[in-house]
Chains A and B, each alone.
Chain A
Amino acid sequence: MTDATTTHVPAPEAVAEFVGATKRFGDVLAADRIDLRIRRGEFLSFLGPSGCGKTTALRMLAGFESPTEGEVLIDGRDVSAVPAHKRPVNMVFQHYALFPHMTVAQNVGYGLRQRRPRLPKREIELKVAKALATVRLADFGPRRIWEMSGGQQQRVALARAIVNEPKILLLDEPMAALDAKLRGEMQRELLELQRSLGITFVLVTHDQEEALAMSDRICIMGKGRIAQVGTPQELYDRPRSRYVADFVGKANIVSGQITGRQGGLAQAVLGNGVKVVLRDEPGDDRTTTEIAVRPEALGLAARDSAVPAGTAVVPARVTHRTFLGDHTEYLLAADGLGQMQVNVPRQAERALGGHDVGALVHVLWPEGTGLVLAVDD
């Protein structure tokens, strides 16, 4: 690790960087050797369950925690020793942390009033008015904080941060306290804001839908470590571990013996003897691996119906059937594999007919479906 920190060359396109950043609180390892480049202008999310170290990572960027080991760089410069009030980043706090003894306008102008040398009063007023207009609170400047609703307070917090034109805007679960409808609205507004300001946004959330909907890239965390970084599509299509496959969408995980591999495909024998062909992990030479397959990638057919060529079949029995409008969710007891889930689109079910609970069926596993997981966990 010391090697990495001393020979590390900052990447020019990175606005910020974690280099082996580790944070301990006594015995708790809140962040464990985090390596991450945050690209200029991107919308990056830290996603993970509560307590996995997302906030800690964010707070190391903001300057409220300094790494126990490793470095945090902003614009290529190690900021480990730079206190929060001297960092060119601003944060929207989880519960907003607005100043109760100031008006909305005073809150928004707070950061500008801290500049030394001082900014002219007129300039501060103009910037505050512009920021308030940006978050659609133009007429609310003289209001008191307690007169504002939760959604409005959130926008005040946003305005208070962006008015300073930070290099990075940090957002810690900003939508957690909003109701579902407001949350969707706010997500769209945040995205528009990010596009129009061109500021790098780093969001912390435990809500996978929120992360998928908003992010250019997602950094999935578990137990203080980065599990995987990628675009929402990459994470969904090529999860590297069971943890990621489970966290982003739903996945069937089964174990298999690899019997051959070529051209990005692997032949595998599942625990119950069924042979399938799936996407391989490049450079992998393990023989026993875990395999992930999405519920919507599989199909269902009655036992007596014909099976298309190249499609493997797993005999199974339907245990639950849930109609969800655009698709139907089947839970099945698969012979030798345990529980599996298959989602059948409404269209297909209408054409081919549904299956009742208790029905004996075949789970259809088309060639090239499923994925060898790169990491066992």
Chain B
Amino acid sequence: MTQSRARALLLTPAGLWYAAMLLLPLAVVLIFSFGERSAIGGYAPGFTFEQYANLPARFAAFRNTLTLAPVGTLAALLIAYPLAYFLAVKVSPKWKTMLLVLVIVPFWTSILIRSYAWIFLLGGKGIPALLEVIGLDDVRLLNTPFAVLVGIVYGYLPLMVFPIYVALEKLDKRLLEAAADLGTPPWRAFLQITLPLSMPGVLTGSMLVFILLMGEFLIPAILGGGKVFFVGNALVDLFLQSRNWAFGSAVAVALVVVMLITVGIYTRLVKRFGASRDDVGLM
């Protein structure tokens, strides 16, 4: 069989899947976004830019998403990196598997249930009650951006930990000995060797978490109490509650565009940062 035929055969299933499940719905959404809301809700055909002109009405949702998604990604990264480093470098092989399993254990229950647990923890009888004991009265945590941040970092942490762990795990320890041999104290070797060589894991994890956070709606709905909503919540509202499909579609298109732009900038930065051949990323 020729190279090109083998390639075509390999790519056909994925190609068909993407055409049916990604491009087609996107096309539908794009068409809807130029239409209007029919009198009884849903979609009425048309060609107008009115929906896009209305986008500023959902400014808050975009603002929340575009601040909390990057901040959440960064917070997850700052927590995940030391943890992944500890698991990959410091833990003895005996404990490693068990600790790795512990990192995934939360995935065994639905994020819905775990987020409800956070309602209790952040609510009046939870952490604020503890804070009162040490004299900090009237601390409100639930239904704040902070609660949403805690929720998303908690929910997506394992997705950040694993790619970084894999990158650190496969890092050749002899490189650190070589660095020491050439006169580098350990902390500097971390900055010059470990950190750059674990970048593929950092980039993969960040991309993964960031993209998922941009579309998040469950955690803001539960822990934000309708006060801290994401674009995802706006979409749920527009499609399921107010049944304004045309406007909902315009919001969805805007989200896709924003996502493409941010991911594009990110990829550009990554390329400039260091084009090492064994960079594995989502790019």
Which parts of B92-141 form the interface with A (CB within 8 Å)?
Answer: none
Interface bits A99-129 vs B (CB < 8 Å: 1, else 0): 1110000000011001100000000000000
* Given A101-B197, A101-B274: A91 in contact with B181 (beta carbons within 8 A): yes
In the complex, are the beta carbons of A144 and B179 less than 8 A apart?
A: no
**Any A CB within 8 A of the CB of B257:** no
Q: Which one, B31-39, B45-53, B182-190, is touching chain A?
A: B182-190
In the complex, are the beta carbons of A97 and B177 less than 8 A apart?
A: yes
Task: Please give the distance in Å from A104's CB to the nearest CB on chain B.
Answer: 14
* Given A144-B277, A146-B277: A97 in contact with B175 (beta carbons within 8 A): yes
Q: CA separation between A115 and B178, bound complex, in Å?
A: 15
Q: CA separation between A89 and B177, bound complex, in Å?
A: 13
In the complex, are the beta carbons of B183 and A97 less than 8 A apart?
A: no
| B-side contacts of A62, CB under 8 Å | 181
Which parts of A208-226 form the interface with B (CB within 8 Å)?
Answer: none
Interchain CB contact (< 8 A) of A85 among B172, B181, B197? B181
| B-side contacts of A164, CB under 8 Å | 182-183
Nearest opposing residue in chain A for B277, CB measure: A146
**Any A CB within 8 A of the CB of B41:** no
| B-side contacts of A83, CB under 8 Å | 180, 185
| From B174, B182, B193, B278, residue with most partner A Cβ within 10 Å | B182
**Any A CB within 8 A of the CB of B196:** yes
* Given A93-B174, A97-B174, A97-B175: A84 in contact with B277 (beta carbons within 8 A): no
Q: CA separation between A53 and B277, bound complex, in Å?
A: 37
| A-side contacts of B54, CB under 8 Å | none
In the complex, are the beta carbons of B172 and A97 less than 8 A apart?
A: yes
Nearest opposing residue in chain A for B186, CB measure: A85
**Any A CB within 8 A of the CB of B276:** yes
In the complex, are the beta carbons of A95 and B183 less than 8 A apart?
A: no
* Given A100-B278, A101-B196, A146-B277: A93 in contact with B182 (beta carbons within 8 A): no
* Given A99-B193, A101-B196, A144-B277: A85 in contact with B184 (beta carbons within 8 A): yes
| A-side contacts of B174, CB under 8 Å | 93, 95, 97
Which interface class (under 10, 10 to 19, 20 to 34, 35 or more) fits B? 20 to 34
In the complex, are the beta carbons of A114 and B184 less than 8 A apart?
A: yes
Which parts of B157-186 form the interface with A (CB within 8 Å)?
Answer: 172, 174-175, 177-186
Nearest opposing residue in chain A for B188, CB measure: A114
| A-side contacts of B193, CB under 8 Å | 99
| B-side contacts of A110, CB under 8 Å | 179, 182
Interface bits B176-213 vs A (CB < 8 Å: 1, else 0): 01111111111010000100110000000000000000
In the complex, are the beta carbons of A84 and B274 less than 8 A apart?
A: no
In the complex, are the beta carbons of B183 and A111 less than 8 A apart?
A: yes
| B-side contacts of A91, CB under 8 Å | 178, 181
| B-side contacts of A323, CB under 8 Å | none
| A-side contacts of B186, CB under 8 Å | 85
In the complex, are the beta carbons of B175 and A85 less than 8 A apart?
A: no
Q: CA separation between A239 and B10, bound complex, in Å?
A: 65
In the complex, are the beta carbons of A97 and B277 less than 8 A apart?
A: no
**Any B CB within 8 A of the CB of A90:** yes
Q: CA separation between A97 and B186, bound complex, in Å?
A: 16
Nearest opposing residue in chain B for A94, CB measure: B174
Interface bits A27-47 vs B (CB < 8 Å: 1, else 0): 000000000000000000000
| B-side contacts of A85, CB under 8 Å | 179-186
| From B180, B197, B274, residue with most partner A Cβ within 10 Å | B180
Q: CA separation between A363 and B183, bound complex, in Å?
A: 60
Nearest opposing residue in chain B for A157, CB measure: B178
Q: CA separation between A89 and B181, bound complex, in Å?
A: 8
In the complex, are the beta carbons of A111 and B182 less than 8 A apart?
A: yes
In the complex, are the beta carbons of B185 and A93 less than 8 A apart?
A: no
Q: CA separation between A208 and B278, bound complex, in Å?
A: 38
Q: CA separation between A160 and B182, bound complex, in Å?
A: 8
Which parts of A138-191 form the interface with B (CB within 8 Å)?
Answer: 144, 146, 160, 164
Q: CA separation between A36 and B276, bound complex, in Å?
A: 44
Give 23 A-B contacts (CB < 8 Å), ordered by A residue: A63-B180, A64-B177, A84-B177, A84-B180, A85-B179, A85-B181, A85-B184, A85-B185, A93-B178, A97-B174, A97-B175, A97-B177, A97-B178, A98-B178, A99-B178, A99-B179, A99-B193, A100-B278, A101-B196, A101-B197, A101-B274, A114-B184, A164-B183
Smallest CB-CB A-B distances: 6 pairs:
A111-B182, A114-B183, A97-B178, A84-B180, A97-B174, A85-B180
Q: A93-B174, A99-B193, A115-B183 are in contact. List 15 more A-B contacts (CB 8 A).
A: A64-B180, A84-B177, A84-B180, A85-B180, A86-B183, A91-B178, A97-B177, A98-B178, A100-B276, A101-B196, A101-B197, A101-B276, A111-B182, A114-B188, A164-B183
